[in-house]
Amino acid sequence: MGVADRRQREKEQRKTEIIDAAERLFFSRSYEDVSMEDIAREVELNKATIYLYFKNKETLFATIVLRGIQILKEKYIECMEKDVPGIIKVALMGQAYYQYAQEYPDYLRMIHFYGSERFSKENPCTAEIGKGYGTCRMILRDAIQEGVDDGTIRADLDPFLTSMYLMISFMGILSMENKWKLVIEAEGFSYEQYASEFFRFIIPAISSSEKSHKMDVKDFTPFGFFLTEPVEPEKKKREKS
């Protein structure tokens, strides 16, 4: 390996170390509570060196957001590559989004936070983040189109608009404020049941009415889709007893 190649490898390694250090801090604190000085201390470099790699804290934060979006995109691609009807791919993508929220809550929190007005549109990462998240939605759109083509999803639904409805619904469910979770729990339901019931609501709404292609969400289990069983909320059980 030549000197230039070695230096480039060392540069990339240092950049990764900076990102890893920043990620640890952003995962444990809010955006406002992390400074470039904190990141420099975490990675044991001086602040001037950090600025050689990243223009500012916003750019560094966005770089970590891109990591999170890449993981979600890989999950969607995995669902898309399965040899199953389109409507099942759609359900699996919804499930993958939910699992992503459980496995990578800090990435999801950062993705949602980056979508706020807090960040400037001039950030060079903004377009890349939009493209990455857009790719996830387009994969979902393609799955919907497959469902229309194979007859498992209603032909009168536009795949683009339906993908927008679903992605926004996924985001809304997974970024729900705690106060709304408390409302749900006060009625005797768990948040997990609430999220699961969404599929019982949405799958019949988009599924084909043709008997030869009609599928019920309970039929998706053999394909790796799981759904909690409908359970009467504890509060209503008590009222009946």
pLDDT of residue 235: 45
What number is the average pLDDT over the span 5-9? 78
pLDDT of residue 44: 92
The reply to whether 132 and 31 lie within a common domain is no
Q: Which two tokens stand for residue 45?
A: 């470099």
For the domain that residue 14 is a member of, what is the CATH number?
1.10.10.60
pTM comes to 0.83
Domain assignment of residue 212, given as a range: 60-240
The reply to whether 114 and 216 lie within a common domain is yes
pLDDT of residue 227: 64
The reply to whether 134 and 167 lie within a common domain is yes
Query: Which is it for the CA torsion 168, 171, 176, 181, positive or negative?
Result: positive
pLDDT of residue 120: 65
The reply to whether 41 and 107 lie within a common domain is no
The reply to whether 1 and 80 lie within a common domain is no
What number is the average pLDDT over the span 117-136? 78
The reply to whether 204 and 159 lie within a common domain is yes
Three-class DSSP labels, the chain: CCHHHHHHHHHHHHHHHHHHHHHHHHHHCCHHHCCHHHHHHHHCCCHHHHHHHCCCHHHHHHHHHHHHHHHHHHHHHHHHCCCCCHHHHHHHHHHHHHHHHHHCHHHHHHHHHHCCCCCCCCCHHHHHHHHHHHHHHHHHHHHHHHHHHHCCECCCCCHHHHHHHHHHHHHHHHCCCHHHHHHHHHCCCCHHHHHHHHHHHHHHHHECCCCCCCCCHHHHHHHCCCCCCCCCCHHHHHHHC
The reply to whether 141 and 169 lie within a common domain is yes
The reply to whether 1 and 33 lie within a common domain is yes
Number of domains in the chain: 2
pLDDT of residue 197: 86
Find, among 6, 34, 7, the residue nearest to 21 by Cα: 34
Domain final residue pick, 9, 27, 54: 54
The reply to whether 125 and 15 lie within a common domain is no
The reply to whether 229 and 190 lie within a common domain is yes
What number is the average pLDDT over the span 133-148? 95
The residue ranking higher by pLDDT, 171 or 25, is 25
The reply to whether 115 and 161 lie within a common domain is yes
pLDDT, tens only, 215-229: 777 778 888 887 655
pLDDT of residue 238: 44
Give CA–CA dist 221/229, Å, rounded.
12
Name the β-bridge partners of 207. Answer: 153
What number is the average pLDDT over the span 105-116? 87
For the domain that residue 154 is a member of, what is the CATH number?
1.10.357.10
Q: Which two tokens stand for residue 58?
A: 């916003």
Find, among 149, 144, 1, 123, the residue nearest to 62 by Cα: 123
The reply to whether 122 and 39 lie within a common domain is no
Choice among 75-84, 116-125, 152-161, 204-213 with the minimum mean pLDDT: 116-125
Calculate the CA dihedral of residues 57, 61, 62, 64 and round it to 10 degrees.
140
Name the β-bridge partners of 38. Answer: none
